[in-house]
Each structure stands twice: as structure tokens, then as C-alpha cells.
Amino acid sequence: MPVMSIAERWFCQSPPWRWVAGRLVLGWALQGVPLRGAVLELGGGSGAMAEETIRRHPDCELTVTDLDRVMVAAAERRFANEPRVTVRHADATALPFTEGSFDVVVSHLMLHHVIQWRQALEEVSRVLRPGGRFVGYDLVATPLTKGLHWADRSPHQLIFRHQLRPALSQTGLQAAEVRTAVGRQAMRFTATKPY
Ligand SMILES: C[S@@+](CC[C@H](N)C(=O)[O-])C[C@H]1O[C@@H](n2cnc3c(N)ncnc32)[C@H](O)[C@@H]1O
């Protein structure tokens, strides 16, 4: 099964999206959570957010992962000469990293493409070190977002707002916060791995 439709794959790699994601969305999505140390990005695509992440956060070493090998290849080209970025092919539901490997895990607009998204949250909790943070944003399941994805035909499992906070808590993450935005079509989230 394809990870995303050709249209959405094209959109995520397009220069306009790269500009919007890096310049307008990144700061909003990170909600002031400091990015220092080992940072893991799930479903980072071709690196739209990652490019700006390392520019704005000089104290982090970023591992960018994606399930789609086309995206991974594009990210590898983008960061070929950037020693602070490692690009890995990885499924968010079965991360190839040992427990407690990361200070921060970020997830931007990707969870709704992970059919087993609860399993991805379990993996986030596993690979975070005690005190580590999970932060990012996604779409909310609404008639509008469902309609767009139905038309686009990308495999997806949109998440209702009321589902996310309990799901984060069930993985053992604490202080989970979910805030809707953009006319309740999107939600930003943060959670912390307890000591
Ligand atoms: C809408 S794109 C967002 C890309 C990037 N985060 C951005 O903000 O530009 C969703 C990304 O999630 C990836 N993805 C989907 N399912 C995944 C999974 N199970 N594990 C890792 N990445 C996945 C897709 O290949 C795609 O690159």
C-alpha cells in the first residue's frame, strides 16, 4: 500500500509548502518546547520542517525518519552535507532505536497517515528518555479533513480531538495537552515522559 497519494507526496515536497512549513508552521507547532540534544522527527518527509529546525535550533542533533523511500531519498539529498542531520528509513510504529534514545520527539502533520497511530505513540514513549518531550501537530478528524482525504485517496486514519489526550496518557506520557487551532481543523500537542 502506498504511504501517500502522488498528489500529497508532490505537495509535501513542493517549494511553497517547504516555505510555509519552515517559516510559518514550525514555531507554532513547537509551542516553545526547546529543541536540544538528540531530536527525532517522525514522518519528516523530504525535510521541509527539518531544514528550518536545525537552522533555528543550533543545539540539536536531528534524526529525520520516514516510511516512504522516495521521501527518505529526497531528505538524504537535502542533508548530504549537514553533519547534524541523520536520515533514516523507519516506520513510526516500529522505530529502530533503543529505549530512551531521544530528548525530544517531533511529529508534524504525519500521525493521521499512520493507520496504527496508537502504536506510534507507544513507540514515542519508548524511545524518549525520562523527562523527554513529545511535541507537534496534526489534523483533527472533521467532515472537512475527512472529505479532503477521501478525495485525495492517501491511506489515513484521522484522529478525533477527544481521542488524542487519553491515548497519550495510556502510553505512560504525562502532562499531555492538546489544543485545537485553525477553526478546530488542526491540533497541537505536547506530552512528557516521566522520570
Ligand atoms: C503529510 S506528510 C508531512 C511531512 C512533513 N512532516 C511535513 O510537515 O512536511 C506525512 C509524512 O508521513 C510519512 N509517514 C506516513 N506513515 C508513516 C509511518 N508509519 N512511519 C513514518 N512515516 C510515515 C509520509 O511518508 C509523509 O512523508
The pLDDT score that the predictor gives to residue 1 is 57
Pocket test for ligand 1, best of 1, 3, 62, 105 (most atoms within 8 A of CB): 3
- 50-103: pLDDT as tens digits: 999 999 999 999 999 999 999 999 999 999 999 999 999 999 999 999 999 999
The pLDDT score that the predictor gives to residue 158 is 93
pTM greater than 0.75: yes
**Is 12 within 8 Å of 46 (Cβ atoms)?**
yes
Distances from the Cα of 32 to the Cαs of 51, 98, 187, in angstroms? 18, 27, 15
- 117-171: pLDDT as tens digits: 999 999 999 999 999 999 999 999 999 998 888 877 778 899 999 999 999 999 9
| CA dist., res. 44 & res. 74, Å (int) | 11
44 lines ligand 1 (CB under 6 A): yes
35 lines ligand 1 (CB under 6 A): no
| CA dist., res. 80 & res. 23, Å (int) | 22
44 CA distance to ligand 1 centroid (A)? 6
The pLDDT score that the predictor gives to residue 2 is 67
> What are the phi and psi torsion angles at 135 (to 5°)?
-150, 150
| CA dist., res. 15 & res. 105, Å (int) | 25
Q: Would you state the cell numbers that stand for residue 70, as one nine-digit string?
A: 522516495
The class of domain 6-192 in CATH terms is alpha beta
The pLDDT score that the predictor gives to residue 149 is 82
User: Nearest C-alpha to atom 8 of ligand 1 is from which residue?
Assistant: 108
The pLDDT score that the predictor gives to residue 154 is 76
